[in-house]
Structure 1
Amino acid sequence: MHLSRRTLLRATALGVLAVPAAACSGSAGSSPTLLRPRPALTHGVAAGDVRADGAVIWARSDRPATMIVETAATESFNDPVRFEGGLLTPDTDGTGRLRVTGLPAGQQVHYRVTLEGDDGATSEAVTGVFRTAPSAAGDIRLQWSGDTVGQGYGINPDLGGMRIFETMAARDPHLFLHSGDVVYADGPLKESVALPDGRIWRNTVSEAKSALAQTLDQYRGQYAYNLSDQHYRTFNSSVAQIVQWDDHETVNNWYPGELLSAEAYSEKSVDVLAQRAFQAFHEWLPIEPTEAVDGRVYRKIGYGPLLDVFVLDMRTYKGANGVNTGPAGQILGAAQKDWLIRELGASTATWKIIANDLPLGVVVPDGDTAFEGIANRDPGPPSGRESEIAQVLSAIKAGGVTGTVWLTADVHYTAAHRYSPDRAAYKDFDEFWEFVSGPLNAGGFGPNDLDPTFGPEAVFVHAPPAPNSSPLDGYQHFGEVFIDGETSELRVDLLDAAGTVLFSQSLAPPAR
């Protein structure tokens, strides 16, 4: 057994060296040989952006290898269907993705990923499961949350890691919407954090996670760190993902064109940092950027006759935080706003979930005079970024679009907000709900003030009494949407990390 020259060069490029074998059995003086390297899957597998006929499958190799995906109806993998992907190389940090197609609609699909070196050596298989989008009405369970490994709270070995993902997986969801802040690239970790009450929070650490991310490799290392958690990997392999980004994938509260003043950053241009963050985000998650409308994030995921999910990008096209006032402002950009209005109008799904990575009416300051989110604390008619949201809400009403529900994260507490024109300064829209969840594993905050422009009412709030509460304090959250396949009723549950339902709201299906 030997290494081909090409394999050796590629393995060296990934930092993987051949391992000398023990001396050959036989006569003394035999020359030592090299074991043929066997590629390995380093961070589990994941499926994302499901369709009726398949999904995007993601994996990462420790050395150059071809990604092979097999699918089957059962975990025994009798009569599997084989898909061959491209070569995983250092150019993408060893990551790769492959869209599998031609599968039956509305079915549970077992898949396994193996890696094949150019000399035929193969990895051990890693398995996963997802459900293809249905062609007929049936029960749907969608979970959502955001904010993972923030404010210095990482993977705690004393707790056995991020156990919230174990809780979520046990509820057997069809889909998981990660509503942004998938990583905290601006949140270095220390081995221990002293809490106000004298307790100690401990973290496992890595080199990349011990510093602010500025280089491409440091951004990549944020995702590698999170996926070193066994519960996160298991969850990823058991439910199809829908991912969007917010700010911490790059740097806190960023907007295009921003120049950083913090001394900790040697690279001051947020546009440069965002491009590196963009590359790492798409390398390490089961999302195919070419399938997004703009080649980045915003897109529609159809999941049968009962559900369409509209994934927004409120980061790439937003205006500066300091100018969120006046007659006009930008949070979606004209092209994304027009796309959302057009696609909502064309949707025939009973329920239309709008995944907004920033809450609509929650006031999120960025310093004394600027605002990170949409709301600007002005109780009057829409101004600044609110102007685009007003156009969307009015178009929904004018077009007779029904069944819209907004899901968000970002603010590190969970809440149910009901927006009504009866309470609003702006009247040209129909009543709707927005549900907030998070964090998954980060500091707890809130609750924030509500801007009355669109008439929000906080029907339910679960937030800590003091800011930046640790995950030990019980303010970690996820939300769950359940759509009944027989009645089409939609129920939203807000849960804590133990799986306790804190609040429920049922919504009747819109009249046809």
Structure 2
Amino acid sequence: MERRLFLADLTRYAALCAVVPNIWRVTSRPHFADNPFGLGVSSGDPTPTGGVLWTRLAPRPNDPDGGMEGTRATVDWEVAHDDQFKNIVTKGRATAGPELAYSIHVDVDGLEPDRWYFYRFMSGEAVSPTGRFRTTPPDGARTPLHMAFMSCQRWDQGLFTALGHVAREEQLDLAIHLGDYIYEGASPATALRKHQGLEIRTLDDYRRRYAQYKSDPNLRAAHERCPWLVTWDDHEVDNNYAGLVGENVMESTEQMQQRRAAAYQGWWEHQAVRVPRVKSWADLNITRTVNWGSLSRFYMLDTRQYRDDQACGDMIKPVCADSLDPKRTMLGAAQEQWLYNGLGSSKAHWQVIANQVMMAQYDAAAGPDFRVSMDQWGGYPVARDRLLGEIGKRAPNRTVVITGDIHTNWVHDLHNGFSRPDRPVIATEFVGTSIASDGDGRDIDAARLSTMQSENPHLKWYSARRGYVRCRIDEQAWNVDYRTVPFVSRPDAPISTATSWRLQHGKAGAERTA
């Protein structure tokens, strides 16, 4: 190279470095102003030989770049048989950069099936908390599963006490979060603990909101306890959004596309998930299956991104002609067919549909009037009955639907369609309450429950307290405990089992056991 060209290039590179000083800088010995692992660690999407391990470097989460000041840093990780890391099984190194909020997603492979491991991250002199992770049983095994599922943890309406109890469950192989991991709105002046900032819309907004939620010690402890499966609902983006239609109907498609891209990227950056790479964050596909040996297959659905807009002006409304249009869909044609094909081809003993919004029909009006929530499957009755018909043909009485969203507990018989009451029961839906959304909740008297059941005879139980659902699954049955706390407005609420249910494999309908 000629000397004058070399000097010219050197001048240009120096000018570029003055604008973006850390563009090529990667340090293996970073110095942090505060603990960079304050958002904790988590694991998820387990397989027989591995899974995804997550953390994020954020010494000061509310600062730009989480306080990392543009520095790219190496992060070492270790997986061991013991929590003292004396018997390390595998280890490696990753680089955390600003493009993905300094998040780390390690897709570990080569582990033994059906066993527990411990993992941790290190950067500079900082060491993360230790997480527990387990691989799934191998194909063909029907190893029993102990799991819990939960949803709806609104920061400003209650403490995450129930998640602390999840972290202390004696046997817990897997946790499933069905959406509303964060809430996007601003907090009222009377909030128990306030959201930082106003309603979130930009990528930096979503990053700070996730960081605020992950600052909760109960949430971090629950993530450390076992691997999680996560999906999203509406509040990870915008209340009751549908596809590219937001709550504010005057938002343009371009505005919602940008908001969805920011929200989906922020979600991915803070979750231990294995999802395919996409050209646009606005089109991130989170639909996937996870197997627990041959005992159960979990179908992780997305009921927001592909749905048609809610009919009849949304909310709880009488059924209108628009809602009965057979072309309307909750899942989108591709996801519908993927689910049908899976139900038909899977040899798993139990088929588990991890679903965001209530599937069972619910008439919210007493007497001859008929009113349903247009945001739930009741607002998409043809699509719902189409799905239930496929369950009836392909996997009857071995399919379980687990649901979140509604901030209350329900047990439902699912009929082979709800257009006629004489259709047979072909599945059961267990709906879990919220972790904190809607505050302390309340008790429901027998008269109120009787009225609800008279309008909805497939409803078997209902409660309006906070908590989560614990399940013990084997070849013979699903055993379900509804775990509830009496309050979330102050710390240290005790946990108790409000009721227990048993669903036998091959038998229609769940039976109450306690």
Which of 280, 283, 287 lines up with 2:269 in the alignment? 283
CA shift digits 1:299-343 (9 cap, x unpaired):
111011211111111000110112433233110111101110111
1:77 aligned to 2:76? no
Q: What secondary structure does 1:237 align onto?
A: helix
- Show structure 2 runs of 5+ residues with no match: 1-16, 59-67, 312-321, 365-370, 486-493, 508-514
1:501 aligned to 2:487? no
Q: What secondary structure does 2:458 align onto?
A: strand
Determine if contact 1:416/1:458 at 8 Å carries over to the other structure. Answer: yes
Q: What secondary structure does 2:201 align onto?
A: coil
Note the C-alpha offset of 1:476: 0.8
1:107 aligned to 2:95? no
Note the C-alpha offset of 1:489: 2.0
CA shift digits 1:427-473 (9 cap, x unpaired):
666422101112101105799998999x761111012xxxxxxxxxx
Note the C-alpha offset of 1:389: 2.4
State the one-letter code of the partner of 1:94. Y
Question: Matched residue pairs, number?
Answer: 439
Note the C-alpha offset of 1:295: 4.8
Q: What secondary structure does 1:375 align onto?
A: helix
Alpha-carbon distance in 1 for matches of 2:107, 2:24 = 29
Determine if contact 1:72/1:78 at 8 Å carries over to the other structure. Answer: yes
Q: CA 1:321/1:37 → structure 2, altered by over 3 Å: closer, same or farther?
A: closer
Alpha-carbon distance in 2 for matches of 1:11, 1:301 = 38
State the one-letter code of the partner of 1:375. G
Q: CA 1:462/1:260 → structure 2, altered by over 3 Å: closer, same or farther?
A: closer
1:90 aligned to 2:77? no
CA shift digits 1:93-113 (9 cap, x unpaired):
111211111111110111111
Number of the residue aligned with 2:334: 335
Matches within 5 A, 1:295-334: 295-322=284-311, 323-334=322-333
Alpha-carbon distance in 2 for matches of 1:137, 1:417 = 26
Note the C-alpha offset of 1:401: 4.9
State the one-letter code of the partner of 2:404. A
Q: CA 1:404/1:79 → structure 2, altered by over 3 Å: closer, same or farther?
A: same
Determine if contact 1:167/1:499 at 8 Å carries over to the other structure. Answer: yes
Number of the residue aligned with 1:435: 430
1:482 aligned to 2:472? yes
Report % sequence identity.
Answer: 23
Alpha-carbon distance in 2 for matches of 1:364, 1:180 = 24
1:46 aligned to 2:42? yes
Number of the residue aligned with 2:409: 414
Alpha-carbon distance in 1 for matches of 2:25, 2:324 = 51
Determine if contact 1:479/1:493 at 8 Å carries over to the other structure. Answer: yes
Determine if contact 2:389/2:417 at 8 Å carries over to the other structure. Answer: no
1:458 aligned to 2:477? no
Q: CA 1:369/1:126 → structure 2, altered by over 3 Å: closer, same or farther?
A: closer
Number of the residue aligned with 1:211: 198
Determine if contact 1:492/1:505 at 8 Å carries over to the other structure. Answer: yes
Determine if contact 2:405/2:433 at 8 Å carries over to the other structure. Answer: yes
Note the C-alpha offset of 1:40: 2.5
Question: Hey, which of these two has a bigger chunk of helix by percent?
Answer: 2
Q: CA 1:13/1:257 → structure 2, altered by over 3 Å: closer, same or farther?
A: farther
Q: CA 1:357/1:369 → structure 2, altered by over 3 Å: closer, same or farther?
A: closer
Determine if contact 2:397/2:426 at 8 Å carries over to the other structure. Answer: no
Determine if contact 1:67/1:113 at 8 Å carries over to the other structure. Answer: yes
Q: CA 1:423/1:354 → structure 2, altered by over 3 Å: closer, same or farther?
A: closer
What is the Cα-based RMSD across aligned positions, in Å? 3.6
Alpha-carbon distance in 2 for matches of 1:427, 1:337 = 25
Determine if contact 1:38/1:122 at 8 Å carries over to the other structure. Answer: no
CA shift digits 1:20-58 (9 cap, x unpaired):
xxxxxxxxxxxxxxx798982231100011111111001
1:143 aligned to 2:130? no
Number of the residue aligned with 2:161: 163
Alpha-carbon distance in 2 for matches of 1:359, 1:405 = 13
Which of 380, 396, 403 lines up with 2:398 in the alignment? 403
Q: CA 1:266/1:229 → structure 2, altered by over 3 Å: closer, same or farther?
A: farther
Alpha-carbon distance in 2 for matches of 1:452, 1:313 = 32
Number of the residue aligned with 2:14: none
Q: CA 1:175/1:131 → structure 2, altered by over 3 Å: closer, same or farther?
A: same
- Show structure 1 runs of 5+ residues with no match: 20-34, 116-120, 156-161, 194-201, 377-384, 464-474
Which of 152, 157, 160 lines up with 1:153 in the alignment? 157
Determine if contact 1:59/1:95 at 8 Å carries over to the other structure. Answer: yes
Note the C-alpha offset of 1:275: 1.6
Alpha-carbon distance in 2 for matches of 1:478, 1:259 = 29
Q: What secondary structure does 1:320 align onto?
A: coil
State the one-letter code of the partner of 2:480. V
Q: CA 1:42/1:11 → structure 2, altered by over 3 Å: closer, same or farther?
A: farther
State the one-letter code of the partner of 1:491. N
Matches within 5 A, 1:128-139: 128-135=131-138, 136-139=141-144
Alpha-carbon distance in 1 for matches of 2:23, 2:126 = 14
Alpha-carbon distance in 1 for matches of 2:385, 2:175 = 28
TM-score normalised to the size of structure 2? 0.77
1:221 aligned to 2:217? no
Q: CA 1:310/1:90 → structure 2, altered by over 3 Å: closer, same or farther?
A: same
Alpha-carbon distance in 1 for matches of 2:105, 2:285 = 15
Determine if contact 2:410/2:463 at 8 Å carries over to the other structure. Answer: yes
Alpha-carbon distance in 1 for matches of 2:268, 2:334 = 22
Q: CA 1:356/1:125 → structure 2, altered by over 3 Å: closer, same or farther?
A: closer
Determine if contact 2:100/2:269 at 8 Å carries over to the other structure. Answer: yes
Number of the residue aligned with 1:466: none
Determine if contact 1:352/1:405 at 8 Å carries over to the other structure. Answer: yes
Determine if contact 1:411/1:438 at 8 Å carries over to the other structure. Answer: yes
Determine if contact 1:416/1:460 at 8 Å carries over to the other structure. Answer: yes
Number of the residue aligned with 1:30: none
Alpha-carbon distance in 1 for matches of 2:163, 2:126 = 26
Alpha-carbon distance in 2 for matches of 1:329, 1:271 = 21
Alpha-carbon distance in 2 for matches of 1:235, 1:418 = 30
Q: CA 1:39/1:168 → structure 2, altered by over 3 Å: closer, same or farther?
A: closer
Q: CA 1:102/1:482 → structure 2, altered by over 3 Å: closer, same or farther?
A: same
Note the C-alpha offset of 1:386: 2.2
Determine if contact 1:408/1:437 at 8 Å carries over to the other structure. Answer: yes
Alpha-carbon distance in 2 for matches of 1:488, 1:370 = 35
State the one-letter code of the partner of 1:96. I
Q: What secondary structure does 1:389 align onto?
A: helix
